[in-house]
Each structure stands twice: as C-alpha cells, then as structure tokens.
C-alpha cells in the first residue's frame, strides 16, 4: 500500500499510527500496545496498527488470515467510556460502517454476513468474502481496564487489489476481482483513501453507540444484513444448525428458526447460505 507522507499526517488525527511494511499480525502488535493506552482518559480510537502485509494474519476460530500485499490490514485499539453496547453489536456496526464506505467509494454493494464478514453477493445468492473483522475485549487477561471502561481491539482485513487467492479459499474475492467480473473494468482501488474514510466514519459514528439507542443501530445493521429471511447453515464448534435466519436481537445474536420450528438465539458461528 502506498501511503503518502501527506496522508499519513492526516491519519494521525485519528490516533497514534504504527505502520509496518510487513509484520506478523497487526492484532498481535495492538495487543502489545494495549497496556500503554488502557487507562487513557479520552475515549475513542487510541492507536492504529497498519501493515502492508502480514506473515501470521489472524482470523476467527484460530484460522490464518491470508494477508499478501494489495490488501488492507489494520487493528484499532479503542476505548469506550460507560459503553454497554455488546461486543457482537459493536462488531456488526463496525462492519456496517465499512460496508457503507466501500459502497460509496467503489459503487460495489457490500453486505454484512453475521457476525463479522463483509461480503459481495452474486445473482445466484452466493457469498464472496471481501473482508472480515476480529474483535476482542481487553480485560480477560492480566490487563484490567477501569470498571467503567471498555477497551477493544478491532482488527479489520479487506481484500482490495489482490488478483488471486489460494485454492483453499474458494469464497474469497477482492474489490478488484468483483469490478473485473461485473464491470469488465480493471480498477486499482486506493487503499489509503479507503482507510482514511473508514477511520473518519468510525471516529464519527462508532462512539455514538453510547448515545444513540441500540434500536437505531440495530435497524441500520439489519438493513445491511445479507442473511435475514434466508435459509442458512450455521457451523459452530461442535454442531451445525440449519434453518431460517429470522432476526438479529439487541445483543447482536442471530435468531434462527430451525427446520423443526424451534427458535434459538446464537452468539457465534459461521453462516453459509443454502440454495434458496
Ligand atoms: C475473520 O476471520 O474473518 C476475521 C479476519 C480479521 C483479519 C484482520 S487483518 C488485520 C487484523 N490483524 C490480524 O492478524 N487479523 C485482523
């Protein structure tokens, strides 16, 4: 990613910037910084760790996140004061804001796939993953934020200008590949511009979660959600459930009506579509 000096100095208004050409994982680096920023008096984004590529990018469920050049990889260290918004809801809201920014900048419609994926959906209702979010709350370890504070690391990986992916990632795609497929146009998207706009929007909106009611946030999330009303398969660590995703509740949980009509709420899982 080419970040000009000019843009770098503009990014600094959002927080302390740590920029690497290559690093193991921005998430790992952000964890190391957590102690330093944990009890900062001011809320909002504290530090932003950005990498051009990652050698050990972390995904959910202990998976690796494929992180070659031409993508966008960053982790935000964030403090919330008195924030009672559940982690899943904050992750979904972050995803919604990112989807909006990408759509505005590229005209490519991007949706949320509960709980943390950013996807493009083709005419056959197949999901193609263009990004993912890895959220963690600091406090379960020896690092303890003040009781009235919530400190999080939000790791964001976006596939921007990559032109190929390994065979074991059949659902992965990039903005460039989507643009080639749908517009027959080879576009090189500007990672720095996307990063700048995302940070700008997150710093304006994410912290409004404390003021804005959860109901409003939830409505926005639901409008961007690709799964509500659809038949889905949800894979969890020890079981797989199938049914219709009927709602997302105020905790950010997915409400599923199973094939035998039972209504259950799910905290976590990996959703895939079933041919409708
Ligand atoms: C997922 O599994 O979908 C979440 C992927 C999150 C990847 C990002 S890239 C920036 C940050 N650093 C990491 O090592 N992981 C997250």
Give the chain's radius of gyration (CA, Å).
Answer: 18
Binding site membership of 73 for ligand 1 (Cβ less than 6 Å): yes
Q: Look up residue 227 and give its DSSP letter.
A: -
Find the 127 Cα to ligand 1 centroid distance in Å. 18
Cβ(234)–Cβ(248) below 8 Å: no
Angle made by CA atoms 85, 90, 94, in degrees to the nearest 5: 150
Beta-sheet pairing, 263-266 with 254-258:
antiparallel
Residue whose tokens read 């912290």: 207
Backbone angles phi, psi at 59, to 5 degrees: -115, -175
**CA atoms in the 13 A half-sphere facing the CB of 183:** 12
pLDDT average per 10 residues of sequence, the chain (276 residues)? 66 94 97 86 90 96 94 94 80 96 96 96 91 88 64 96 96 96 86 94 82 80 94 91 95 94 94 75
Cβ(124)–Cβ(59) below 8 Å: no
Which residues partner with 271 through β-bridges? 234
Q: Which residue's CA is the closest to the ligand 1 atom numbered 11?
A: 155
Q: Which two tokens stand for residue 142?
A: 């020896």
In this prediction, residue 3 carries a pLDDT of: 58
Find the 59 Cα to ligand 1 centroid distance in Å. 5
Q: Which residue's CA is the closest to the ligand 1 atom numbered 3?
A: 132
| Helix, coil or strand: residue 271 | strand
Binding site membership of 131 for ligand 1 (Cβ less than 6 Å): no
Cβ(64)–Cβ(56) below 8 Å: yes
Give 3-state DSSP helix, strand, coil % of the chain, rounded to 5: 30, 35, 35
In this prediction, residue 73 carries a pLDDT of: 97
Q: Given the CA of residue 116, which atom of ligand 1 is nearest to it?
A: 3
| Helix, coil or strand: residue 155 | strand
Q: Which two tokens stand for residue 238?
A: 């020890």
Find the 57 Cα to ligand 1 centroid distance in Å. 6
Q: Which two tokens stand for residue 181?
A: 């497929």
Binding site membership of 54 for ligand 1 (Cβ less than 6 Å): yes
Q: Which residue's CA is the closest to the ligand 1 atom numbered 7?
A: 157
Binding site membership of 135 for ligand 1 (Cβ less than 6 Å): no
Beta-sheet pairing, 16-23 with 44-54:
parallel
Cβ(100)–Cβ(201) below 8 Å: yes
Binding site membership of 116 for ligand 1 (Cβ less than 6 Å): yes
Between helices 87-106 and 175-183, what is the axis angle to 10°?
A: 50
Q: Given the CA of residue 30, which atom of ligand 1 is nearest to it?
A: 12
Give the count of beta carbons closer than 10 Å to the beta carbon of residue 206. Answer: 23
In this prediction, residue 158 carries a pLDDT of: 98
Binding site membership of 174 for ligand 1 (Cβ less than 6 Å): no
Q: Helix H segments across 116-270?
A: 175-183, 191-205, 214-224
Binding site membership of 226 for ligand 1 (Cβ less than 6 Å): no
Sign of the Cα pseudo-torsion (196, 201, 204, 205, in order): negative
Binding site membership of 53 for ligand 1 (Cβ less than 6 Å): no
Q: What are the strands, taking DSSP E only, across the chain?
A: 16-23, 44-54, 72-81, 111-113, 117-121, 127-138, 149-158, 231-235, 240-248, 254-258, 263-266, 270-273
């Amino acid at each position: 990613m080419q970040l000009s000096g000019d843009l770098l100095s503009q990014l600094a208004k959002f927080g302390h910037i740590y920029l690497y050409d290559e690093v193991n994982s921005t998430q790992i680096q952000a964890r190391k910084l957590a102690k330093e920023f944990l009890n900062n008096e001011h809320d909002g984004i504290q530090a932003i760790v950005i990498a051009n590529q990652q050698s050990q990018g972390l995904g959910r469920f202990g998976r690796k996140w494929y992180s070659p050049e031409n993508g966008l990889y960053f982790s935000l260290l964030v403090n919330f004061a008195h924030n009672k918004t559940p982690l899943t809801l904050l992750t979904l809201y972050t995803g919604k804001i990112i989807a909006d920014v990408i759509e505005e900048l590229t005209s490519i419609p991007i949706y949320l796939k509960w709980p943390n994926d950013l996807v493009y959906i083709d005419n056959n209702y197949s999901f193609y993953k263009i990004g993912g979010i890895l959220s963690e709350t600091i406090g379960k370890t020896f690092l303890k934020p003040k009781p009235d504070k919530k400190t999080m690391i939000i790791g964001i990986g976006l596939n921007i200008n990559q032109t190929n992916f390994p065979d074991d990632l059949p659902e992965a795609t990039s903005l460039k590949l989507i643009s080639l497929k749908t517009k027959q146009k080879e576009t090189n998207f500007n990672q720095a511009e996307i990063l700048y706009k995302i940070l700008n929007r997150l710093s304006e909106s994410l912290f409004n979660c404390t003021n804005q009611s959860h109901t409003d946030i939830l409505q926005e999330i639901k409008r961007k959600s690709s799964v509500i009303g659809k038949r889905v398969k949800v894979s969890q660590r020890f079981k797989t459930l199938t049914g219709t995703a009927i709602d997302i509740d105020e905790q950010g949980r997915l409400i599923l009506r199973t094939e035998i009509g039972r209504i259950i709420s799910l905290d976590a899982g990996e959703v895939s579509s079933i041919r409708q």
